Structure 1
Amino acid sequence: MATDRDIKRPYTVAERIGPLVRRVLARNPSPFTYTGTQTYIVGEGSSVAVIDPGPDEVEHLDALIQAIGDAEVAAICCTHTHRDHSPAASPLAARTRAPIIGCAPLTLDDDGPRADAAFDPTYIPDRVLADGEAITGEGWTLRALATPGHTSNHVCFALEETGALFTGDHVMGWSTSVVSPPDGDMTAYLDSLQKLYEREQDTVYYPAHGPEVTNPRQLVRGMIGHRRQRERQILRQIEAGRTRIADMVPHMYKGVDKRLWPAAGRSVHAHLIDLERRGMAYLREDEWAIHGAN
């Protein structure tokens, strides 16, 4: 849960939050970014890495440069390429001469009701990290974990020296992750959650939005359970005769701000695609049905 400390955290100030880790909050709060994008600086010696540099805003870039100081930036790492995460990568690289290393590039035109930031067409990595590949600096090692689902190119980074995992938008303590087709994939998202749940070495998660997660496996188990509950709820909606997404959402999200219902509909769609793949539901003349039902 969020605390007053999280909500009132000062912008553009580097906070030391754990061994080898500092955090700088960008001033881009929204219903989908919480208090804003959190950029992480990893390392305390002569070389550091920057994770999720955030939006291309002068105030935020200046704060990052000040926090980096005289250290060499060994890598600018992006978990994925939504516009609240990666646009500052290129200008930061220009100012520090650092390579951009991390997720693959992805630009997707999507005219639907977006539930988060659109994709960043300016992201051009110098190197894409494969699943399990690592980058190193003085006293630190970051290992990439492919975690598709929120986006197909999403990557988490494990700081092996401390047991910290930088989870981007894949796992957050304040909210569930948006999974919005066509690129968002619920099947892949659930597989990626299971992948993290099986990692017993991670002791804390540092998401791109919201407070750190100190009970990571417990949270992930609950998130998997939440998604399974949602799919059962969807199947009950179909059984009750609500066969279109627009009819399901008002009943499934009664306590949610109506402005977020279009985004919720994208999540329902992602679940339905997953259920269709598993042979549990199918689309018939713009209406969803359950196999075996009349």
Structure 2
Amino acid sequence: MTIAHPAYAQLRQVTPIAAVMLENNPGMMTLDGTNTWILRAPGREEIVVVDPGEADEDHLLRIAKVGPVALTLITHRHRDHTEGIDRFVGLTGSPVRAVLPEFRRHTDAGLPDGELIEEVGLAIRVLRTPGHTKDSTSFVIEGEGSVLTGDTILGRGTTVLDSTDGDLGDYLSSLRSLIDLGAGRTVLPGHGPDLPDLQAVAQEYLAHREERLDQVRAALEALGHDATAAQVVEHVYSDVDRKLWPVAEQSVRVQLAYLRR
């Protein structure tokens, strides 16, 4: 029987190279939970892991048992992707590469844009995609063309931009970079199910962001240009469940910063 998303504690093969282990940490910001991606070239035992997830012992043990871990990559700094790093390194001895130095282990190597990481028969292209956070990074699996998008593009819903270091201008540029990769690439997201066509999803995301920007501009015209993020949310998101307003407010703060620049 084919395993379908969501499938906790099971290794689900998505492409010939990429499999996913879904962590059992569902929530408003994590959807069904964090996707830990496991990459393995055909005929090889060693693996590359992307985002070990939170400090969940059972989850980390399951990943460590899949195979010898040659390298761990981090898509961005949020704790649901990084909290388990030290325990995972203790279990596997894996070096960890990340944009931010505080998440690197057993290496000083960052993730420069455009680098081709060649490891255990895999070729993984680094594509910096800031916006959700400043350090957000995607990974293109060369050969099959699938793309690990972290939280830049999700398997369902839309991405919240972090109000501490997220940037809408960067995010719009990142979406255009993903669109430019071309059609037919499988999306391997940080949360939610995989999707069949990155270009189509990124175009939908871009259209949604531009629509929201127009709504925020209209709200500022109605409320005054010094309106707060909370006032804008109440005006623009009146048809959205109020429990989601605090999350929406994060994105609105980023949108206001973009417009006021």
- Note whether the superposition's TM-score is higher than 0.5: yes
Give the TM-score taking structure 2 as reference length.
0.91
The corresponding residue for 1:27 is: 24
Q: Alpha-carbon deviation of 1:248?
A: 1.9
The corresponding residue for 2:180 is: 198
Q: How does 1:1-294 map to 2 (within 5 A)?
A: 5-6=4-5, 9-44=6-41, 45-68=44-67, 72-105=68-101, 123-125=103-105, 126=107, 127-200=109-182, 203-241=185-223, 243-277=227-261
- CA shift digits 1:214-250 (9 cap, x unpaired): 1211111111111111111111112222533222212
- CA shift digits 1:50-69 (9 cap, x unpaired): 0011111111011112222x
Q: Using the alignment, how far apart are the partners of 2:87 and 2:259 within structure 1?
A: 42
Stretch of structure 1 that moved more, 253-262 or 45-54: 253-262
Alpha carbons 2:98, 2:104 under 8 Å: kept: no
Q: Alpha-carbon deviation of 1:201?
A: 6.6
Q: Using the alignment, how far apart are the partners of 1:19 and 1:271 within structure 2?
A: 39
SS of residue paired to 2:188: strand
Q: Alpha-carbon deviation of 1:208?
A: 0.9
SS of residue paired to 1:240: helix
Q: Which has the larger radius of gyration?
A: 1
Give the TM-score taking structure 1 as reference length.
0.81
Q: Which runs of 5+ in 2 are unaligned?
A: none
- CA shift digits 1:172-230 (9 cap, x unpaired): 13121111223011111111111111111761110010011212111111111111111
Larger helix fraction of residues: 2
How many residues are matched?
253
Q: Using the alignment, how far apart are the partners of 1:193 and 1:202 within structure 2?
A: 16
Identity over aligned pairs, percent? 32
Q: Alpha-carbon deviation of 1:92?
A: 1.4
Alpha carbons 1:41, 1:51 under 8 Å: kept: yes
Runs of 4+ in structure 1 off by over 6 angstroms are: none
CA RMSD of aligned residues (A): 1.8
Q: Using the alignment, how far apart are the partners of 2:4 and 2:69 within structure 1?
A: 29
